[in-house]
Structure 1
């Protein structure tokens, strides 16, 4: 199957408009533009902070639970495997996978929800894709000549469009990112590689936490039950936890293979022979088959009903929202308590956005330290 979609892939050469950067940068013959972007992402402070940010469990009662960083690495493995098989630009795909969660605040979706609610009271929103773009264009400072990582246009487009489409009317500031067109297949793959990674990992971490039981999963998640049965028939008498781990890998491979096959079939069905035709098609072509999509939705509902909204995680989420909201309100009341390096952005960005940016960059442990300091200061 390799190279079947080569003509539809992002080229990545020096003449490709998607390799253009905001600021001039010398060429490096030994590395492609997207390989250099990958290195810039991996060497960024925001990427390193992913190690200290929640994936699902904020309490980190086990060292084995995924963090944002380990989840990101798993997404990159899945996405790159799909790209290689399809003959797409694997360097672009890997870079987009590594950067796709860089805009998430501490405490996972609970932290994001709390930040968004705080900003909405000031007529603003928090969107982790748009925040990721702000990080790579503005907050990271590693070069003497400019702010930001100076990533290629292709990577910046993929950061904001890999998981959703933005309207030109609603976001005129994003006009350069081809908002009236679909993203390249390389970017389209990322959202579903993300789904595959967390659908597998969250079942694993859920069992590790003791909140989910393997038998209950087998009875209520069709795709995992089917994979477990195959593994059990191949390895009779093996302990349940080992069969479960292998069934998870089987499920991940099944979903990855389905994504590859369905994407290839969709591109061939419309006769697309160029990136331009991929962009002009009204729907995304990187999708699951009808069966896999139905089973994906079933598992997602199961995780929502049994894990994400269970009492113990809800208590963690409530605590996370309390911490984010309290700190946001504190710095809105007393902006002089912000680090001095943030003062110069208040005039151009507004205080609410600056406070949200500061909070969004924190790791879970750092925001809890800040919360404890603020509580002590308020009591005095």
Structure 2
């Protein structure tokens, strides 16, 4: 056994159990759920910039997922952010399919009708923040029986101008910080605006009404909770102070909205790049099968970069009838034709040291896990190596004993 040469960073440590993973990925078995989550992680520009890294996971007894590789300090921070994001998402997540979006649009239409009445709504004009907002506006246009002349599209020649009494309803699928709406207002010429995000935090809506004199109302169908206090705990006051300093006058609200994703889009997350001193695009993790935009992104990344299947991903199924198997919290990955092994901690995304198995040691590991018994493994290795059977048997016994002493290999 050689000294450790790569590290492993835990992304899932099993604390939430399989049911939450199944609920997030909308799969019916653990192998498919881990595979779907792996596809979601790999459908990111950040992942493809990691270089030669490997994802490895297993479903039993608890779902585990880790990244194997040699990481820079910046990459370690990004992967630790991803681990914290997954931990939070598996605790609370909200996925809105088309059926649920229709129900929410009905509630938004009812709220608008109660506030303004049918007569006023028939005189308003309506537009949307691209691109998810147009999907919601399409639903609203049927629910409110809007005329084609009430719908306004962006004007490339200049600001969007609202005719008539100048009251404009601006629709979006969600508002997480209000930044996109703030940018939209700069290109909009309307005397009064009603902002209608389908999902938004109530404090954000109140802040928009307070800070924008031209906004008559900010009406939402569903509330999004602020998860920042729970995420940062005792460090929340310091984080809030730093957040306000970074945002300055560019945003309305300093909270963090709970995770939400739609059948058409998963909103882009942001992370603070300390070196560049700016926010940059962060991780998206929704499985591509659940989201149109994510499927397109995954397809583009795979067409221009490395196919996900070549990135070393593979779930590690629960071993069969053999009486030798990897310990419950051990993960491993193929690295340069060798095997890197690590024991995953509980409740930590810190990097863990790995052991590297090469040559005959790697082959012993593979055959033991595949066949389960020393006798079957010895027979398979004899077919591959020209060696004295007694020597091979002794080497295999020492190999198994060493791994058992290290807590990597166990007996059933």
TM-score normalised by the shorter chain: which range applies? Answer: under 0.3
Give the TM-score, by structure 2 length.
0.25
Q: Which has the higher helix share?
A: 1
* TM-score, with structure 1 as normaliser: 0.27
